[in-house]
Amino acid sequence: MVSPHNPRIFSLIAFLSLSAAFPARAEGPAWPWGTRMKAEASNESPAHTSVVVDLTAIPSGPPQSLPVPPAPKKEEEPVDFEADRFEHDDQNEVITASGGVHMVQAGRTLEADKVVYNLKTDTVMAYGHVVLTEANGDVHRAEEVQLENEFKNGVVKDLHSVLADGSRFAAVEGVRTDGKKTAMEDASYTPCDLCKNHPDRPPVWQIRASEVTHDEESRSVSYRNARFETYGIPVLYTPYFSHPDGTIKRKSGFLAPSAGYKSRLGGFARSSYYWDIAPDKDATFGVQAMTKENPLALGQWRQRWDAASLSLDGGVTYSARTDRIGGEDVRRDDELRGHVLADGLWDMTDQWRSGLNIEWATDEQYMRQYDITDRDILENEVYAERFSGRNYAVGRLLAFRDVRLREEREDQPGVLPEIIASFKGDPNSIPVLGGRWGVDASFLGLQRDGNDQDMNRMGLAANWYRRFISDYGLVGQADARVRADAYNTRDRSGVLAAGQSDSSTETRLFQNIHLQGSYPVAREFETMQARIEPVVALTAVPNINVNKDIPNEDSQDVQVDAGNIFEPNRFPGLDRLEDQSRLTYGLRTGLYGYGGSRGEAFLGQSRRFSEDDNPFPAGSGLDRQESDVVGQLSGIYRDQYSLDYRFQLASDTLASQRHEIDAQGRWNALTLSTRYLFAKALDGTAIDESREQMRVGAAYYLTPKWRMRLGGTQDLGTSPGLRKAHAGLDHYGQCVFWSLSGERNLTDESSGESDVEITFRIGLKNLSGFEESKAR
């Protein structure tokens, strides 16, 4: 099996690449690593002459380093060399160093009891307690090392290595050939620590193989007869296994498989093959087999060019699905089903960019049934955009598909096209007035199938904006706008009232002036700063008659909150305009700790000068002369506790209209989180009833290695009940991680979400999926 991942678990094979650490020999009687020695006569027979340096003759102190000659012509790193005794056999051309041999070069250190260098055969032998320490901290030990042919070939006996990350590697013998390929016999690897009290016991897991080969040309590590062992017990076997050696990021081969169980799919297993086609392109092909459904074939293609990229994903199967008909779930016969996802980007010039996003499925249930995506609306887009200084323009074509399974679904219009252009002047570019100008232009075309409403809209807007700070600390801003729109609407038969035309062309002109001021006041304390800031805004707008022939396509979901109450127009989109003048007022305050903790509060409201002709729908919080009161409380304390609470209260009775709470707290080993929502219905939208829901989650570290997880979502609205529940148990070992999780979705079957899912994940350190404990 081959993996495109990049584990560095066998980088220690460099132990056999000593030619990189200790280069080829020098000429003449010099020590082969470039360290010259002083010659003395020996007491050997005349036929045997040797060169001896006896470091025991030094009066006192530790062994001294011999002098290092100038750098050789090949610009090799100098070698610091120490030994108790040196011998040079001129007749046999053999140099021997013995007694505490210690060599250092380029951050690497080689130690041995004895080193013998044969100049004739260009062979180096190291004996006894051989230790090579790499610059990165890896330590390799052996009893015997043999190197020859300028150290391109070599043999190592009884290899034991400990990598810098604590991983361990062992081999009975290793052979290096041509300086490019290393083969090891009876090898094993584990990242697990050995038991301190019983180091002879097998580790938690290890990989053993009869032969391990590292090919530097193909940049791969391969195994023959590989066995995965747990506590010394073989549990998996493969005749062949391979992965990259860590020097490359991609390589063709099989990816790690995955498996699990879902009540609607049954047990499933997925296997994929990764194809590294070229440096600029790759592909992945896979199959997911299931016990209750037919197999699902999956594929992905990715390619990059100098200024562009493209990614294509797809799947196909032949299976059944469930539809909702007449309020009941009806199961269809097997049929061809599938999906296509695409994402492309092209940087055409320094200022122009284009792209596409495609999301397509054969039916509404497919995406959720096979866990492709949980999105409710699939979006397809082709666009081109231009950037020029502060100016921006974009043109796009859009198509949408609602994949929520309902008996009656509103037809999603196609956007054919949408064009937006925005031009901004430089700051203080306007004489006398100061500030800066802006011009925005847009065109929108909506097309629906059949006789449903179609629309074209063209708009042009200009504005002037200036922000200023007075000498007394008053912060102000002024914004003046004028906008003109033209609408052409067709096929309006489905939304017509009596006497209205099937098509119409309408225009309108709108202008407003928005003035806002605030006066922030701050006071410093020993551990924090306190701040209070009253804010007031006046929006001057004429009273306009709402033309019912102008459709409302993009201004339906309107809701007042702390984030938009001071906006000049509280309607989203452009189809609806907020007319008539009003006054908006509020108060911001907060405490800001110098250590990062903070607490903030906001309270605000607005009042229209006239109570007539209110354009907002009921439930928006803006449908009365006085808006609902909106506020927000938020804070963070020591990065352990966080709260964000947003609320909306009725202006007349202060009755609850909306509450949103996000909170999280961490106490030592326990973490709690919750999200709560209560919101009243909003007229004119699909939100036709009040909603109330709470989601809670908890995680507790029983020990630093064991974590328990619980959570659920409860509907508290008109149809209360549990909607989702999950539980899990995680184990964080020193070299192994595993997680057992169970989840139950309680929705109708036709949505593709009603399901029970049980998953088991395992991660092995330095291989894949490993996670570390975050317990404190």
| Lowest model confidence (mean pLDDT) among 662-671, 686-695, 701-710 | 686-695
* pLDDT band (50, 70, 90) for residue 320: confident
pTM of the model: 0.75
For residue 416, pLDDT over 80 is answered with: yes
pLDDT band at 327 (very low <50, low <70, confident <90, very high): low
The more confidently predicted of residues 433 and 73 is: 433
Whether the pLDDT of residue 174 is over 90: the answer is no
Neighbouring C-beta atoms of residue 703, cutoff 10 Å: 11
Distance CA 731, CA 586 (A): 50
User: Strand, helix or coil at 620?
Assistant: coil
| Residue 355, token pair as written in the block | 């792209």
Residue 197's pLDDT band, with cuts at 50, 70 and 90, is confident
Q: For residues 142 and 158, is the Cβ–Cβ distance under 8 A? A: yes
Question: Which pLDDT belongs to residue 776?
Answer: 64
Provide the token pair at 27: 């000429």
CA pair distance 399, 412, nearest whole angstrom: 8
Q: Which of 105, 104, 152 is nearest to 124 (CA)?
A: 152
Q: Is the pLDDT of residue 323 over 90?
A: no
How many Å apart are CA 555 and CA 684, to the nearest integer?
A: 10
Of 406 and 447, which is predicted with more confidence? 447
DSSP 577-602: ---S-EEEEEEEEEEEETTS-EEEEE
- Select from 435, 341, 445 the least CA-distant residue to 395: 445
Other beta carbons within 10 angstroms of residue 370's beta carbon come to 25
In 3D space, the residue among 695, 698, 707, 760 whose CA is nearest the CA of residue 733 turns out to be 707
Q: What pLDDT sits at residue 71? A: 45
First to last CA, the chain: 38
Q: How many CA atoms lie within 13 A of 669 on its CB side?
A: 11
pLDDT at residue 52 in the model: 34
Residue in the block written with tokens 């909603």:
691
Asked if the model's pLDDT at residue 131 lies above 60, the reply is yes
In this predicted structure, the answer to whether residue 680 has a pLDDT above a threshold of 80 is yes
> For residue 300, what pLDDT is reported?
97
**Measuring CA to CA, how many Å separate 738 from each of 212, 517, 674, 733, 741?**
28, 57, 26, 8, 10
Query: Does the pLDDT of residue 46 top 50, yes or no?
Result: no
Cα–Cα distance, 112 to 18 (Å, whole number): 14
Cis peptide before 59 (omega within 30 of 0): no
For residue 155, give every residue at least 6 positions away whose Cβ sits within 8 Å of its Cβ, in sequence order, or none.
Answer: 145, 146, 173, 174, 175, 176
For residue 642, pLDDT over 90 is answered with yes
Which residues are CB-neighbours of 445 under 8 A, at least 6 positions away? 415, 416, 417, 418, 455, 456, 457
**Residue-wise pLDDT tens digits, 71-105:** 444 455 666 778 889 888 888 888 888 988 887 87
For the chain, percent helix, then strand, then coil, each to nearest 5?
5, 55, 40
Beta strands in 6-138 (DSSP E): 50-54, 80-82, 85-89, 94-105, 108-118, 123-133
